[in-house]
Copies of this chain bind each other. A is one copy, B any other.
Amino acid sequence: MRLSKAFQPTLKEVPSEAQIASHRLMLRAGLIRQTSSGIYAWLPAGLRVLRNIENIVREEQDAIGAQELLMPTLQSAELWKRSGRYDAYGPEMLRIQDRHGRDLLYGPTNEEMITDIFGAAIKSYKDLPKALYHIQWKFRDEVRPRFGVMRGREFLMKDAYSFDVSYEDAVASYRRMMLSYLRIFQRLGVRAVPMVADTGPIGGDLSHEFLVLAPTGESGVFFDSALEEQDWLSRPVDCDDHASLEEFFQTVTGHYAATDEKHDEAAWAEVPETRRREGRGIEVGHIFYFGTKYTASMGVEVVGPDGAKLAPHMGSYGVGVSRLMGAIIEASHDEGGIIWPDSVAPYRAAILNLRPGDEACDRLCAEIYERDSSNLMYDDRDERAGVKFNDADLMGHPWQVVVGPRGAKNGLVELKRRATGERVEVTVEDALKRIGIV
């Protein structure tokens, strides 16, 4: 994309209500625009990041055998009356009446609907386990929306649901999801630590929140640094083997990790001092086993191995896709702007033409740009070098290819790594190779 043509309206001044870095930077960099309180339009560069996050989530969910479908945004109140949640859910639920006076709602989550869809389709234990997910816009009518996409009202969530014949199988489903989540967050370039969360009346230990470490996080977190050091992408886990899943799960839960709400000083004291990490975290995911709560209340059963009917055990597994974009920025920015991890950046690199009109600069920039124009942002604007440097830093492209007249004559460019500020003068081929364009 040529920046002179791109619809990426950067802002010099941001609204005073933007209190946190990610909100300010997303507005300043032209990634989002608020259209109503807590409701945002995603401008082209912002949408590219959102899609990159979504695709990583999708690939890792598919990798554990979860199947993607898409449920609608609007649901009938009838469905929620069957589970008993229609009256229990508070004012965060957006309730709607259609032209015939029928009660609808904008889905804040999908346990009821997926249970209903599952129940209509699956009749036998032989078709289990099943894990189904979708990535869809949700609405929660927050009383005071704030922090940009971090606490918006219309937000994009991936929610998955597992169905199993027994508690033991449901535990395996839960562990597969935990692995999938750890892989997702690692690929997104953030460290998200799983913390034990409340299970409410369900009991047990099968509820974890995943918190991205960032100084502006809403919760205090305490954890063993051993958790940070794991490479989940290269760890061999056989997802079809309960023993392999259990071994993996013990690695995770065998190390101390807790939010301030659940912090246990006695257990904390047992973590070697050099491995104690304290900080703040932003919740970006939650996995939860809740047994037969919905299948039983909604009367969904399958025929079991002995011919008797049974209510499948369920779990639900959420990732805040739009929220993650804010969380990634909170975890990865500096005074100059955003520092995108390579995996989610809207473009792999920016090409900065320091002297548009100079024949050597124009030619070299065009040559680089045409190598992969859909993944490069070419700043071909008739602007001063300083403006281009600042905007590239603000937009946070992982690499900047700086093309000035002196280097261009010799076919050389300056390659800057946004995260470290490191600059090297290299040939075009070398630059493309380092950026990952061959």
Contacts from A to B (Cβ < 8 Å): 5-7, 9, 30, 33, 35-37, 39-44, 46-47, 50, 65, 67-76, 79, 91-92, 94, 96, 98-99, 102, 104, 106, 113, 116-117, 120-122, 130, 132, 137, 139, 141, 143, 153-154
Residue of B nearest to A374 (CB): B62
Verify B67–A44 contact, CB threshold 8 A.
yes
**Partner among B41, B68, B153 whose Cβ is within 8 Å of the Cβ of A70:** B41
Verify A141–B35 contact, CB threshold 8 A.
no
Decide yes or no: A113 and B70 within 8 Å by CB, A94-B98, A98-B141, A141-B98 being known contacts.
no
In the bound complex, residues from chain B placing their C-beta under 8 Å from that of A40 are: 72
Decide yes or no: A141 and B7 within 8 Å by CB, A70-B42, A72-B39 being known contacts.
no
**Partner among B6, B96, B99 whose Cβ is within 8 Å of the Cβ of A67:** B6
With A and B bound together, what is the CA distance between A139 and B74 in angstroms? 9
Residue of B nearest to A116 (CB): B35
**Partner among B39, B68, B102 whose Cβ is within 8 Å of the Cβ of A74:** B39
Residue of B nearest to A123 (CB): B9
Decide yes or no: A69 and B43 within 8 Å by CB, A36-B75, A74-B139 being known contacts.
yes
Verify A154–B74 contact, CB threshold 8 A.
yes
**Partner among B72, B130, B139 whose Cβ is within 8 Å of the Cβ of A41:** B72
With A and B bound together, what is the CA distance between A141 and B69 in angstroms? 24
**Partner among B94, B102, B120 whose Cβ is within 8 Å of the Cβ of A9:** B120
Decide yes or no: A72 and B104 within 8 Å by CB, A7-B130, A99-B143, A117-B33 being known contacts.
no
Verify B72–A35 contact, CB threshold 8 A.
yes
With A and B bound together, what is the CA distance between A259 and B153 in angstroms? 43
In the bound complex, residues from chain B placing their C-beta under 8 Å from that of A143 are: 99
**Closest Cβ of chain B: how far from A415's Cβ, in Å?**
27
Verify B121–A9 contact, CB threshold 8 A.
yes
**Closest Cβ of chain B: how far from A52's Cβ, in Å?**
14
Verify B75–A47 contact, CB threshold 8 A.
no
**Closest Cβ of chain B: how far from A149's Cβ, in Å?**
11
In the bound complex, residues from chain B placing their C-beta under 8 Å from that of A79 are: 35
In the bound complex, residues from chain B placing their C-beta under 8 Å from that of A39 are: 72, 74
Q: List 9 A-B contacts (CB under 8 A).
A: A9-B122, A35-B71, A35-B76, A35-B79, A41-B117, A42-B70, A44-B69, A91-B99, A98-B141
With A and B bound together, what is the CA distance between A326 and B172 in angstroms? 39
With A and B bound together, what is the CA distance between A46 and B68 in angstroms? 10
In the bound complex, residues from chain B placing their C-beta under 8 Å from that of A98 are: 94, 141, 153
In the bound complex, residues from chain B placing their C-beta under 8 Å from that of A69 are: 7, 41-44, 46-47
Verify B74–A113 contact, CB threshold 8 A.
no
Verify B33–A120 contact, CB threshold 8 A.
yes
Verify B121–A7 contact, CB threshold 8 A.
yes
**Closest Cβ of chain B: how far from A77's Cβ, in Å?**
10
**Closest Cβ of chain B: how far from A368's Cβ, in Å?**
20
With A and B bound together, what is the CA distance between A5 and B131 in angstroms? 10
In the bound complex, residues from chain B placing their C-beta under 8 Å from that of A71 are: 35, 41-42
Residue of B nearest to A1 (CB): B67
**Closest Cβ of chain B: how far from A198's Cβ, in Å?**
25
**Partner among B9, B46, B92, B154 whose Cβ is within 8 Å of the Cβ of A72:** B154
With A and B bound together, what is the CA distance between A437 and B106 in angstroms? 42
**Closest Cβ of chain B: how far from A47's Cβ, in Å?**
5
Verify A132–B72 contact, CB threshold 8 A.
no
With A and B bound together, what is the CA distance between A39 and B117 in angstroms? 13
With A and B bound together, what is the CA distance between A75 and B139 in angstroms? 13
Q: Which of A5, A7, A73, A121 has the most CB of B within 10 A?
A: A7
Residue of B nearest to A33 (CB): B117
Verify A7–B104 contact, CB threshold 8 A.
no
A-B pairs, 3 with minimum CB distance: A9-B121, A42-B70, A36-B76
With A and B bound together, what is the CA distance between A44 and B62 in angstroms? 12
Verify A47–B72 contact, CB threshold 8 A.
no
**Closest Cβ of chain B: how far from A392's Cβ, in Å?**
19
With A and B bound together, what is the CA distance between A50 and B71 in angstroms? 13
**Closest Cβ of chain B: how far from A210's Cβ, in Å?**
25
